[in-house]
Amino acid sequence: MKAFADLYDRLDATTGTNAKVAAMANYFREAPQDDAAWALYFLTGRRLRRLVSSISLRTWTLELTGLSEWLFQESYSSVGDTAECCALLLDALPHERKAPVELSLTQWMEERIQPLMGKSEPEQREKVVEWWSQLEGRELFMLNKLLTGAFRVGVSQGLVAKGLAEVSGLSNAEIAHRLMGDWQPTAEWFASILNPGQVTRAISRPYPFFLASPLEQEATALGAATKWQAEWKWDGIRSQLIKRDGEIFLWSRGEELITERFPEIQQAALTLPDGTVIDAEVLAAHDGEVLPFAELQKRIGRKKLTKTILAEAPAILMAYDLLEENHEDLRDRPMAERRARLEKILGSASRVFRLSPLIEFNSWDDLAEQRTRSRELGVEGVMLKRKSSLYQAGRRRGDWWKWKIDPLTIDAVLIYAQAGTGRRASLFTDYTFAVWKGDELVPIAKAYSGLTDEEIGSLDNWIRRHTRERFGPVRSVEPFHVFELAFEGINASPRHRSGIAMRFPRILRWRHDKKIHDADKIETLQAMIDGNNRRVSRQSQAPQQTERV
């Protein structure tokens, strides 16, 4: 556990990519393989189901330290993380400590933490309090994070793959592929990851996703338009559909197996040739029209898919790349060839499988003109893919670009503020904004990105001097400042007080030139929703095709 806590410290203390990779490589070289497997499990974003609630940690900490609830809340407001706040309080205040124990990460996980599952709260309290008395400092913090299932560290899976590649001598792409899919953190599994002679063969394993970069320059800078393929950028769940050995697997980009969530796709995939892997977008569609992402969300959050839900938002798979055919890895083939093979496999259209239509254009100006219709069609913009491009792993600039439409914007008033987390825990960085509904300001969005450090500092200072009320960690502030918010989409939502939900809201700029009466009205946002509801069917723009299944 100490070695893993030290690794966390080194990763948390630097923003340098090379330093992070070196720290992980050193850890993987020196750690026992079973410990390295558990460390890899957490570094790649996997987590155990939450074993102990944050409320329990707080309650037990208050009982042990004798602190009052208000003092804990003030401490939490400064730290911004329950696990870290508890660790700091327990470490700083005197209480009975037992002799420290030297247990490996594997021993902690398999002999102590995992067995907490299913135990009553009094039983959990007895164990956790005993463990707290044996730890201090960063190890105490690490235990709390693992207990609550909230462990996060600032490394991407790509950086983790680089660290393992340094140790194994394998390529980053091969390591990234071996890390994909469902696996258990065992010494044997970790040894197989580093083994150059290990054949990457697991019927359910997806490939690492190739991610496009935002196009932040003129399209003409990409060279001749004839060397590029253009498609609409669909707003759904990026997925890989796999059929191997007669079994069907549907993976999300977040490496979540979502096959059971979309039974119509699973059933339709039985008609595909064996040894097929398709890169695609899962979308909701009804009567031939692709529906907004909000309709798909209705299915994502349901534990049980009723007939009503399945009927209201049937799922389709919008396919745009072929990664495997007849069990042959096609990622090193040109995009144009993979596309041609995909068209051959899918053949004519079906109720469930659709081929993402290519946009025909004669020049960059022509494509730019067609891109202006994106919002009307209900898409996020245009995808540009070099026809000669290979299918790489992760975000590699140069071959795939996303040319998104300009976001929707409104002017809104700051009404609530909350402290951030981690390094921003001492500053108010999370904001709630409102628009006018008659003579009342109603909250419509929360945002925490878009301001410079200097602007955050200035606003934090103002918030502390103009707080009206406190609601736990949230402060109500005097309505005075207006901000321009950008967002990708908008829809009606009965779960929100305003009746409206925004997609990916962020701060575009601080409008010092506007007063609060200049902020937008709720009717403006409602008009945006009405415009979405009147949009032309996206699918109507695809070539006419006959149904297959």
The tens place of each residue's pLDDT in the chain, 549 residues long, gives 888 988 988 888 887 889 999 999 999 999 999 999 999 999 988 877 778 888 999 999 999 888 888 888 878 767 777 888 898 888 886 656 666 678 899 999 999 999 988 889 999 999 999 998 888 888 888 898 888 877 777 788 888 999 999 999 888 888 888 888 878 899 999 998 888 877 666 788 899 999 999 998 999 999 999 999 999 999 899 999 999 999 999 999 888 888 988 999 999 999 999 999 999 999 998 877 888 887 887 777 666 788 888 888 889 999 999 999 999 999 999 999 999 999 999 986 578 999 999 999 999 999 999 999 888 888 889 999 999 999 998 888 899 999 998 888 999 999 999 988 666 777 899 999 999 999 999 999 999 889 998 999 999 999 999 999 988 778 999 999 999 999 988 888 777 778 888 888 999 999 998 999 999 999 999 888 876 655 433 333 433 333 333
- What pLDDT is stored for residue 422 in this prediction? 62
Are the CB atoms for 501 and 491 separated by under 8 Å? yes
Detail the DSSP E strand segments found in 271-314: 276-286, 289-290
Compute the distance between CA of residue 58 and CA of residue 71 in angstroms, rounded to an integer: 12
- What pLDDT is stored for residue 100 in this prediction? 65
**Identity at 294, one-letter amino acid code:** A
- What pLDDT is stored for residue 319 in this prediction? 96
SS (H, E, C) 453-488: HHHHHHHHHHHHHCEEEEECCEEEECCCCEEEEEEC
- What pLDDT is stored for residue 176 in this prediction? 86
**Identity at 93, one-letter amino acid code:** L
What the block records as the tokens of 448 is 């925490």
**Sign of the C-alpha dihedral, residues 345, 349, 350, 356?**
positive
Domains located in the chain, CATH noted: 2-148 (1.10.3260.10), 210-403 (3.30.470.30), 408-533 (2.40.50.140)
Bridge partners for 456 per DSSP: none
CB crowding 166-204: b at 16 or more within 10 Å, else e = bbbebebbbbbbbbbbebebeeebbeebbeeeeeeeeeb
Instruction: Transcribe 244-272 into DSSP letters.
Output: ETTEEEEEETTS-B-GGG-HHHHHHGGGS
- Chain position carrying tokens 């890989």: 240
What the block records as the tokens of 63 is 């009982």
**Helices (H), ranges, 347-477:** 364-371, 374-377, 453-465
**Identity at 7, one-letter amino acid code:** L
**Identity at 283, one-letter amino acid code:** L
How many CA atoms within 13 Å lie on the side-chain side of 307?
0
Q: What secondary structure letter does DSSP report for 297?
A: H
